[in-house]
C-alpha cells in the first residue's frame, strides 16, 4: 500500500455536491479510469479516500486535496487526464503525486485563503466598500462564533489577516485569509459581521471560493 494525494478544483455546478456524494463520485471516477486503488480486507472492503478540510456545500475551491491509497509505488502517468475525462462538470484534477514519507500532514493546515463576492442588483451601494474596509480596520470586531461545543463571543480580527476589498460594477470582492483547522473561522462570518455592524447595507448575494491553504508559517500546503 502506498499513499497518494490529488489536488483538485470544485467549481461551477460541482460546488453543490455534498461531501458524502463527493467521496462516492471520486471513488467511481477512479474505478472508471482504472486507478490502482488499495482496498481494505475483510467482509466490507472499501477504498480509503479522505478530503482535507472539506468545503461547505455551495462553496467552490481551486486548492482542494484528496488523499487515497494505491497498490503501486507510481501514480499512472495519465492519471490527471483520465480522471478529467470521467469527472462531472465542475470537478477538475490538477495534479496527482505520491506522498513520500507520508507527505505534509493535513493537521498542519492553519490558514485558508478565500475570495468572497458580494453581489448587488445594479451597482454596489455608495459607501459600501469604504465602510467594509473601515469595519475590518477596527482593532476588534466581535461576533458570536458557533461550533459543536456551543457559542462564544470572539474577536474575529484574531482569526483573519491579509484582507483586501475591491469594487467592480455590481460586485464587491474581498480576498481574506482566515483561520483553519481546530480554530477555524468560516468566511461567512465576514458577511455576518457586515450585516451586524453595517445594517444599512443589504447584501442580496454572496459567494465563497477557496483559493489556497497554508501551514502556520505561511507555507502553501501540498
Task: Read off the CATH number of the domain in which 44 is found.
Answer: 3.30.70.580
Closest by CA position to 32, among listed 102, 114, 104, 91? 91
Count the domains in the chain: 2
Residue ending a domain, choose from 73, 103, 133: 103
Residues 200 and 114 in one domain: yes
At 175 the pLDDT is 98
- Tens of pLDDT along 16-70? 999 999 999 999 999 898 888 887 776 777 788 899 999 999 999 999 999 999 9
Closest by CA position to 158, among listed 173, 175, 174, 136? 136
- Per DSSP, the three-state class of 4 is strand
Residue % of the chain over a pLDDT of 90: 79
Residue 222 lies in a domain: no
- Tens of pLDDT along 39-48? 777 677 778 8
What is the average per-residue pLDDT within 104-110? 93
Residue 172 lies in a domain: yes
Q: Which domain holds residue 169?
A: 107-215
Residue 89 lies in a domain: yes
Residue 220 lies in a domain: no
Q: Left (φ > 0), alpha (ψ -120 to 50) or beta: where does 76 sit? A: beta
Task: Read off the CATH number of the domain in which 147 is found.
Answer: 3.30.70
Residues 63 and 115 in one domain: no
Amino acid at each position: 500500500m502506498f499513499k497518494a494525494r490529488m489536488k483538485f478544483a470544485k467549481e461551477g455546478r460541482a460546488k453543490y455536491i455534498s461531501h458524502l456524494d463527493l467521496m462516492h463520485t471520486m471513488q467511481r471516477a477512479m474505478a472508471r479510469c482504472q486507478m490502482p486503488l488499495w482496498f481494505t480486507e475483510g467482509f466490507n472492503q472499501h477504498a480509503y479516500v479522505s478530503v482535507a478540510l472539506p468545503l461547505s456545500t455551495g462553496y467552490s475551491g481551486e486548492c482542494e486535496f484528496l488523499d487515497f491509497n494505491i497498490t503501486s509505488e507510481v501514480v499512472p502517468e495519465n492519471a490527471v487526464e483520465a480522471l478529467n475525462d470521467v469527472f462531472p462538470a465542475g470537478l477538475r484534477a490538477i495534479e496527482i503525486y505520491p506522498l513520500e514519507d507520508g507527505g505534509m500532514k493535513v493537521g498542519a493546515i492553519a490558514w485558508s485563503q478565500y475570495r468572497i463576492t458580494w453581489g448587488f442588483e445594479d451597482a454596489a451601494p455608495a459607501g459600501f466598500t469604504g465602510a467594509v474596509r473601515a469595519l475590518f480596520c477596527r482593532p476588534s470586531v466581535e461576533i458570536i462564533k458557533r461550533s459543536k461545543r456551543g457559542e462564544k463571543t470572539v474577536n474575529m480580527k484574531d482569526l483573519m489577516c491579509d484582507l483586501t476589498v475591491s469594487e467592480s460594477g455590481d460586485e464587491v470582492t474581498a480576498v481574506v485569509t482566515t483561520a483553519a483547522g481546530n480554530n477555524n473561522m468560516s468566511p461567512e462570518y465576514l458577511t455576518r459581521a457586515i450585516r451586524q455592524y453595517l445594517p444599512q447595507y443589504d447584501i442580496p448575494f454572496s459567494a465563497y471560493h477557496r483559493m489556497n491553504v497554508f501551514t502556520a508559517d505561511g507555507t502553501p500546503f501540498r
